Amino acid sequence: MKKPVLVAIDVSARTFVVAEEVPGRVVYEAEYPNTAPGHRKLCRRLTKTGRLVRVCLEATGIYHLDLALALDGTRNVEVMVANPRATKDFARAQMQRTKTDKTDARSLLEFVRRMPFVAWLAPSPEILALRAISRRITALTVTSSQDRNRRHAVAHCRELPEVLDQEIEAHLAFLEDSIERLAGEAVKIINRDRWLRKAFGHLVSVRGIAQASAIAILGELAPLPPDMSPRQWVAHAGIDPRHFESGTSVNKPTRISRTGNRRLRAALYMPALVAIRHEPAVKAFYEKLIAKGKKPMQAIVAVMRKLLHAIWGMLHHDRDFQGEKFYNFSS
């Protein structure tokens, strides 16, 4: 039996670099656009020989998922989605000094050569459907907010024709109906899946996370690999602290990285604000940060980060929100 062809892929937002074992050569490298046509082009190349192909790529939040799904649905192709921490530690152990897309792909190829191949389990159709619906609801909500701002502007300008206000009102009604209908479909999907149903129940146990926010948060978290740590969730959301230091010349204030899933980041913002007002433990944690000199926005982001840690614990340990575990302000 012929050995499987090993392929490693370094995925970024716009492109991905492929490192592939080729007989007679050390490695074949190619770059493809990270789009549906680019995915199909790679799949056609990998299936030309008819041999079994084992592909390894890192879990990179939203960027790897569609590619992994395309590969997973291709005949004679097996997919492994590696934990970024494991591949980073491996590259460090290999004393990799240069960091480019090509060197990352080669390092990942060496990783899949040496490590046991663990086949990836694709998210269920229910999880993928929930993600698609929740993102559509978010897009429609943004459009609705824009139209409300337009309506306010039209109402305060007498020279604009009344028909504009009527058209905006009709469009807002249409958007609200669409959002309500999609939210109902999302709830149906959640109720059909035991894990989603339990996770949804844990989310809404937080004073600050209602149905709309729970759908948005769960739609982004459910497709993530189950072995990701809470710190990786925070990095995935782009709310991990980013320090700027360079000798004595540069020492900027710490900010969040923002290099992550902006949808998850946005979905956590309003629940954090509401929880600060209505959840005693969250309010106490926020007030403690303000008393220490943190600016309000810094404290809100810290609440978002800690809330995401709490959600990780709730979903992984199958329990509702417990304020004393979030912050024990009585001690």
The 10s digit of each residue's pLDDT in 70-88 is: 999 899 999 998 877 778 7
pLDDT of residue 61: 60
The three-state secondary structure class of 81 is strand
Query: Of 192, 213, 233, which one is at a domain's C-terminal end?
Result: 192
Give me the pLDDT at residue 104, please.
Answer: 83
Residue 250 has pLDDT above 70, yes or no: no
**Does 272 reside within a domain?**
yes
pLDDT tens, position by position, 177-219: 999 999 999 999 999 999 999 999 999 999 999 999 999 999 9
pLDDT-derived band at 282, boundaries 50, 70, 90? very high
Note whether 253 and 315 are same-domain residues: yes
Tell me whether residue 182 is in a domain: yes
Q: What are phi and psi of 294, to 5 degrees?
A: -70, 145
> What is the structure's pLDDT at 253?
55
What is the pTM for the complete model shown? 0.76
Which domain, by its residues, includes 137? 125-192
Confidence of residue 66 (pLDDT cuts 50, 70, 90): confident
Residue whose tokens read 């004073």 = 207
The span from the CA of 18 to the CA of 119, in Å, is 19
**245 pLDDT more than 60:** no
Give which of 236, 232, 244 is closest to 220, Cα–Cα. Answer: 236
At residue 331, the pLDDT reads 55
- Between strands 5-11 and 53-58, the pairing is parallel
User: Exposed, middle or buried, 53 (CB in 10 Å: 0-12/13-18/19+)?
Assistant: buried
Does residue 105 lie within any of the structural domains? yes
pLDDT of residue 93: 80
Query: Do residues 289 and 298 touch, judged by C-beta distance below 8 A?
Result: yes
Residue with more model confidence, 65 or 24: 65
pLDDT at residue 134 is higher than 70: yes
Least confident stretch, 20-29, 50-59, 119-128, 233-242: 20-29
Is residue 303 situated within a structural domain? yes
The pLDDT score that the predictor gives to residue 243 is: 45
**What pLDDT shows up at residue 330?**
64
Q: Write down the pLDDT at residue 257.
A: 59
Final residue in a domain of this structure, among 155, 171, 192: 192
Percent of the chain with pLDDT over 90: 53
**118/113 Cα distance (integer angstroms):** 12
Q: Tokens 């701002």 — which residue? A: 149
Q: For 212-242, give the DSSP string.
A: HHHHHHHHHHTTS-TT--HHHHHHHHT-SEE
Please give the pLDDT value at position 248.
47
- Which two three-digit tokens encode residue 11? 């995925």
AA letter at 207: R
Distance CA 191, CA 253 (A): 45
Q: Decide if 278 contacts 208 (C-beta within 8 A).
A: yes
Of 109-113, 122-126, 136-140, the range with the highest mean pLDDT is 136-140
Do 98 and 139 lie in one domain? The reply is no
- Alpha-carbon torsion angle 42, 45, 47, 50, nearest 10: -160
Same domain, 139 and 104: no
The predicted model gives 26-50 an average pLDDT of 87
- Cβ atoms of residues 181 and 137 within 8 Å: no
- pLDDT tens digits for range 209-231: 999 999 999 999 998 878 788 99
The length of the chain in residues reads: 331
Residue 197 domain-assigned (yes or no): no
Shared domain for 156 and 107, answered yes or no, is no
pLDDT exceeds cutoff 90 at 311: yes
Judge whether 331 lies within some domain.
no
Q: How confident is the model at residue 158, as a pLDDT? A: 67
| Last residue within a domain, chosen from 176, 192, 208 | 192
